[in-house]
Amino acid sequence: MEELKTIIEYAKDITVLYVEDDEDARKELSGLLKIFFINILVAGNGKEGLELFKNNNIDLVISDINMPVMDGLEMMRQLRLEYKDFKSIFITAHSGKNILLDSISLNIDGYILKPIEQTQLISILSKIINIIHAEKLKKDFDHHLQIELKKQKETIERQSKSFIEMLQKDSMTNLYNVEKLKIDYMNLTKKPILMLFNIDNFNFINLTHSYKTGDEIIKQVALFLQAFSTNEIKLYKLYGDEFMMALDDMDIMKTLSFAENIQQQFNKYNYLVEDEEFNLSASIGLLECSDEDTTFPYNKVKLALQNGRSNHKNSISIYQKNMSLLEKQKELLKWAKKTKDAIKNHQLKAFYQPIYEFRESRITKYEALARIVEGSEVVAPFYFLDSAKVSGLIPTLTKIMLNQTFEFFKDFKDISFSVNITDEDLKDGELFGTLIYLCNKYDISPSKVTLEILENINDKDVENVTLKLEEIKEAGFLLALDDFGSQNSNFTRIQNLNVDIIKIDGLFIKDLDTNLSSKHIVETIIYLAKKTNKKTIAEFVHSEIIFNIVKDLGVDYAQGYFVGKPLPEVI
């Protein structure tokens, strides 16, 4: 009885077309069908049935076979040519072979033999109703699933678009940044003149006052430079205290006069921060781009600026081919020699910066950072890394760092650690073997070791680099993407490299307490990281306020001077 009630409940949403030429039989079966169905359409022959079907959403066709005008078989043939998604039952007094074969070819779902027995009718209808109900449920589920998937896709696309837009804006000044400049440069039909503007002695302000003061000055300088920006003169915020203008339809001599005017006005301008006045100067580099500058020629215009500044501050210098190349080579050679001497004299040392895990409420990781130690002087990689790359010393430096770090942490089995690697290490071919050897030598599980890679690590050799990273991951080592957001940030990179951890660049972390754009970017990174099951580390956590903000945002780890400085020992 309960089963019959369920069948009747299912049948409420089913529309039936009943086709029968015999009026008495039609009345009798219609009465029985009304026990199950609410929506019943009735036709006297196949032709009428065909018209009713075309004008209504029919779920089930119940039809006699032998009828005048058009019989049930012909009606069903025409329906099947145009419509597939309906169920069908034939009512017949015949059970001949030909009728059976015709019915099979028409995908008939059931038969009711005349004279109709109530038990047989209920059995056949129960079976068909259950099938239709199940198919409707599946269809509804698929429909709702498609709607939900579409909504999720639109949400992700909208967030990705918003994320990309945010990544193309400098969070402090809201000017377009270097990534947008690179894109704009590649889309130009005519090469512009580039003007690089850099504040003199800006690091001194950061050292003697605070980053907050420095940031406020940067904002004011941005406003000052925006006054010179037009449709033909586009302004961008680059790295640190650097700004750049891309000038269309202006020759180099007019640009020089334009730069002199900006510099003179800048020198007269007083910057007021918390009742303290700052009188600043700036050096400017100019580059007349040519067709050979197929990619954004930042190094050239930077070299022009440095060349002028090497003579005096507050300078303007136009790029010339081979400008200061000798001086640059001398500097590289000087640091290459220093680096080789440091390796020879065992002065290359690993310093360890702590990483705080919020879930554990304690320090659980350390990052190993290279330093050259000469007596009481500690030299950061900023000074020797470029020369090490040029002179091919990177794989040697990495092996020294790996050996020192593994040996140091052999007695701290509960602490994880990370070491930086580069393209050069992967191309060297010995990295994987070295890692396995050290794990075995010091009895350290690969799961305790994270290799930090830069975003541009696989720019030129995607397939080969990816294969080597997969080999490292399969052995149990973890991969972290370092400085995410600083260069060619996109989540395709994360997917291609298959990293476990995303380290959010300090550019977006350091001003989370004052910059809403930075907060939105960090929230987006955290959201997408969680969706792809990646852990996140916030870099440059320099204060308790920032520490608490990244914790509340859902970052997994914090790293920075507030947690601890890099030291030759662990805390």
Mean pLDDT in consecutive groups of 10 residues from the start of the chain, 571 residues: 76 91 88 88 93 93 91 91 88 67 76 82 87 87 88 80 78 89 86 92 74 88 93 90 90 88 87 83 91 86 84 84 62 84 94 96 96 89 82 91 96 94 85 95 96 67 78 95 67 75 90 88 90 93 95 97 93 80
Query: Domains, the chain, ranges and CATH?
Result: 2-140 (3.40.50.2300), 178-323 (3.30.70.270), 328-559 (3.20.20.450)
The pLDDT score that the predictor gives to residue 455 is 53
- Give residue 100's pLDDT: 62
Query: What pLDDT was estimated at residue 571?
Result: 80
Report the C-alpha gap between 474 and 476 in whole angstroms. Answer: 5
- Looking at residue 511, what is its pLDDT? 87
Q: What is the pLDDT of residue 52?
A: 94
Backbone angles phi, psi at 113, to 5 degrees: -85, 140
- The burial of 85, by beta-carbon neighbours within 10 Å (0-12 exposed, 13-18 middle, 19 or more buried), is given as exposed
Supply the pTM of this predicted model. 0.50
Task: Give the residue among 37, 35, 33, 92 at the shortest CA–CA distance from 63.
Answer: 92
Lookup result for tokens 């369920």: 6
The pLDDT of residue 267:
85
d(CA 550, CA 412): 27
Residue 488 confidence (pLDDT): 47
Q: Which residues of 325-343 are buried (b: 16+ CB within 10 A; e: fewer)?
A: eeeeeeebeebbebbeebb
CB 76, CB 67: distance < 8 Å: no
In the structure encoding, which two tokens stand for residue 475, read together? 């052995």
